[in-house]
Amino acid sequence: MSHRYREELRRRAADDDAAFIEYITDLVLPDHLREMSAFANRHRKAVVLEPRGFGKTTLLCYRAARLIGLARGAIRIGILCAVDEDAENLTAAIRRSSSTHASSRCFRGRPQGSRGRAGATRPGRSPGLSSART
């Protein structure tokens, strides 16, 4: 990957899920996940139905990390799962993704995307993330 291409990804990453994911992981999203990302951008609230193993969780976890970075942690995102352990694992994955050095480089010099109040979290947790069992 050339330096020029990497810098282009970094420049686009704050506003583009596919660029964010590729910049911080080198994972290139397939077309169906790019379409899902575009759908999520057009609809504030939506339900996405895709077969098991199609990458929904991967995309949405990185999207959550991107949105937390864009808002500088000043948003609240709930992770709802049928099993507590799954919710905790997803919360940890999002926290890791949003706190990497590569992730922080995506938002340098950007105005804060949200002025909302960060949600309360357990001690040792980053603001903006909570998990719950459904």
- The pLDDT of residue 111 is 59
Q: What is the mean pLDDT of residues 32-43?
A: 94
Angle subtended at Cα 108 by Cα 106 and Cα 113, rounded to the nearest 5 degrees? 85
Determine which helix (DSSP H) or strand (DSSP E) holds 129, and give its type and residue range.
Answer: strand 129-133
Average pLDDT, the chain: 81
- The pLDDT of residue 110 is 66
Determine which helix (DSSP H) or strand (DSSP E) holds 80, and give its type and residue range.
Answer: strand 77-81
Smallest CA-to-CA distance from 21 within 12, 112, 42, 86 is with: 12
Q: What is the mean pLDDT of residues 26-43?
A: 94
Classified as helix, coil or strand, 78 is strand
42 or 109: whose pLDDT is higher? 42
Residue 132 has pLDDT above 80, yes or no: no
Q: Is 87:94 a contact under the CB 8 Å cutoff?
A: no
